[in-house]
Amino acid sequence: MYIKKLDIHNFKNYEKASLSFSPKVNCFIGDNAAGKTNLLDAIYYLSFCKSYFNAVDTQNIRHDQEYFSILGEMDTDTNKTDLIHCVQKRNQKKSFKLNKKEYQRLADHIGKYPIVMISPYDRDLINEGSDVRRRFIDSIISQFNSLYLDNLINYNKALAQRNSQLRAFSEQNYFDSSLLEIWDHQLIDLGNQIFPERQKFITEYQPLFNKYFEVVTGKKEAATIEYESQLNTHSFEELLASTIERDKALRFTTAGTHKDDLIFNIQGHAIKKFGSQGQQKSFIVALRLAQYMYIKELKGYKPMILLDDIFDKLDNKRVEQLIQLVAENAFGQVFITDTQQDRIEYLLNKISNNYRIFEVCNGTVNEIITL
C-alpha cells in the first residue's frame, strides 16, 4: 500500500500543490517553516480524517480562503487504486469520501490506510499527562479493532453524561444515586471491554518495543513499558462505589479506564525524570517503530511511515541507521523532512535508488531531478 498522488488546495500555507510519489522513499527539503511538515500532515489526514497537529479542522484552511481540499490516490495491496477526498469548508461539516462515496461515520475509515508519524511533538508522550499516552494506545488499537473504537467513543459519551450529572448535583445541592446508575452501568460494561484490550496490546507490543530500543541504542540500555490501571487491582464496580464521595466533591468521575496510564522506565527509573534528552529521543523512536511493526503484523501489509525532522531527534549515526532500517523491505513507503538536501541525498544514495526529493519553499513544492 502506498500513496501515488497528492493534490491539495488551500491547505495551511499551500494555495495548491500536485505531487507524484515514489512507492519507497520521498523527501521534502526546505528551510524551517517552508511547509514541509504541512505536506506530511495532508498525508496524515488521508488516514485519520484529521490533522496530526491541529484538532480544529477549519484552522487548517489557508488564510482568506473558504475551504481546503486534500485528494489522495492510494495504490492498495489488491492492485486497485482508491481515491480519498477530504474537503473542509468554513462553518460546514467536514466531507470525507472514499471512491466518491461519503462516509456517514469517519470512524469507519480509521485503519484502512494506516500511517505512523515520528514527530518532534512525540516528546509529549513522555512529558505530558496520561491523556496523551492513552491516546497513543487508543490510536493504535483503533486502527485494527473497530469494536474497540466504538466502545471508546461510547465510554467517553457516558463519562461526559456522568460528569454533567455530578455537576448538576453540586449546583442544585441534592443527590440521587439512581440518576447515576444508568451511566455507571454503561461505564462498567464498556470499561470492562476496553481494559483487557489495552492489557493484551501492551503484552504483545512490549517485545517489539524492546527489539527496536536495542536497535536504536545499540543494546546499551534496558527500557520497559508498564500499563497502569486502577482495574489491575479492583473491579470497576468497586472503584465507582469507593470514590462516589470524592466524585461528588470534585464534580467529576475520578476512577475508571479514563485514568489509565503508561509508565516509561529506563534502567529501572522514570525516563521523564531521569532520562537524558538523547535517551528520551531514542525511547520515542523505538515506540513508533514498534507501533509500525505491530500494525503491520496485524494488518498483513505495510503502513506508511512519516519521519518529521528526525535530525533534531538523533545524531547523524543514529539517523543513518534509522533511514537504512526503514528503507529495507520490512517497511513500506517512507516520507522524510529535512533542511539539507546534500545530507539526505548522501544517506539515500548509500542505501536506496528508489527515492524522490522535493524542494519546498514558502508554500510551493517542486521535484528535484537528481543525477
236 and 139 share one domain: yes
Long-range contacts of 94-102 (CB under 8 A, 24+ apart): 94/49, 94/57, 96/49
Q: Residue 13 maps to which CATH number?
A: 3.40.50.300
Residues 6+ apart with CB under 8 A from 267: 221, 222, 223, 274
User: Count of domains in the chain?
Assistant: 2
Q: Are residue 102 and residue 18 in the same domain, yes or no?
A: yes
Domain range for 7 is: 1-114+304-371
- pLDDT tens-digit map of 133-178: 999 999 999 988 999 999 999 999 999 999 999 999 999 999 999 9
CA-CA distance, 220 to 210, in Å (whole number)? 12
Is residue 209 located within the same domain as residue 85?
no
The CA distance from 232 to 238, in Å, is 12
Are 115 and 304 within 8 A, CB to CB? Answer: yes
Domain boundary among 248, 282, 302: 302
Are 212 and 290 members of one domain? yes
45 and 133 share one domain: no
Q: Please tell me the number of Cα atoms within 13 Å of 116 on its side-chain side.
A: 25
Buried b (16+ CB within 10 A) or exposed e, 2-33: bbeebbbbbbbebeebebebbebbbbbbbeee
> What is the block-wise mean pLDDT of the chain (371 residues), using blocks of 10 residues?
96 96 93 94 96 94 96 87 96 95 92 91 93 95 92 97 96 93 97 98 95 85 93 97 96 97 94 89 92 92 90 72 78 91 84 86 87 49
Residues 6 or more apart whose Cβ sits within 8 Å of residue 291: 116, 140, 205
Same domain membership, residue 228 and residue 200? yes
Q: Are residues 295 and 275 in the same domain?
A: yes
- Do 141 and 268 share a structural domain? yes
- Looking at the fold, whether 146 and 278 belong to one and the same domain comes out as yes
Q: Are residues 39 and 88 in the same domain?
A: yes
pLDDT at 313: 62
Check whether residue 40 and residue 134 sit in a common domain. Answer: no
Residue 370 confidence (pLDDT):
62
Please, which residues have CB within 8 angstroms of residue 347's CB and are 6 or more apart in sequence? 319, 320, 323
C-alpha cell at 302: 505495510
Query: Between 130-142 and 277-299, two packed helices, what is the crossing angle to 10 degrees?
Result: 20
Same domain, 160 and 260: yes
Residues 6+ apart with CB under 8 A from 101: none
293: CATH: 1.20.1050.90
